Structure 1
């Protein structure tokens, strides 16, 4: 009788261990899948372009580690941008800056002025970049 009790207890313990492990693996896998889906869905920035009293908003897909210059140089993305050899953005969505009129593109990130050059400005998912053609 004692041997049967020991074997029975051992079997119950084994079933509990295996069941707990399988449940934990399934729970971990579903959390990982949800996080992967969420991180893919959130990889974007919002770009707002303002000029001549008009405003356009673009939702742009973002790759990990991309800078503002990377986005500007990608010809497949909207808005289309022109960039000088030294990395200055000179034209956005068909509207060029005008040195004669002292009109230049300036930008803010998440509502704050930045002194970082486009090549140095690393973007993060959810950032909002606002470009405005201003006269100085």
Structure 2
């Protein structure tokens, strides 16, 4: 159950938005590295199973990306729940029945239950700092 909405609410840091960005970047790196490794391996390269110094480096980076992606997804889930318990989210479409707040400033971009506005972050910040949001 969300707590009472507080306009001066201090955001939890790191925000779910930031954790999501890091997690998504790690997943993208994992996919790119996996494809690159498959191409080099099938082309007769020496990337397989820690056989050469270059394969050690490649596999270490691949494993690091996999760990970062996995940990990032778990942390994202935990942070989403923590934010939801406080009555807001920093992810635009994660919880439409909660307030959507700016991940940096804490400004309210969307009131709880309202339609998510389709504007740039800069426009949303200007609009939120000028007063209550209006439906699009």
TM bin (shorter chain):
under 0.3
TM-score by length of structure 2 reads 0.27
Larger strand share, 1 or 2: 1
Q: Which has the larger radius of gyration?
A: 1
Larger helix share, 1 or 2: 2
TM-score by length of structure 1 reads 0.27
Structure with the greater relative contact order (CA < 8 A, sep ≥ 6): 1 or 2?
1
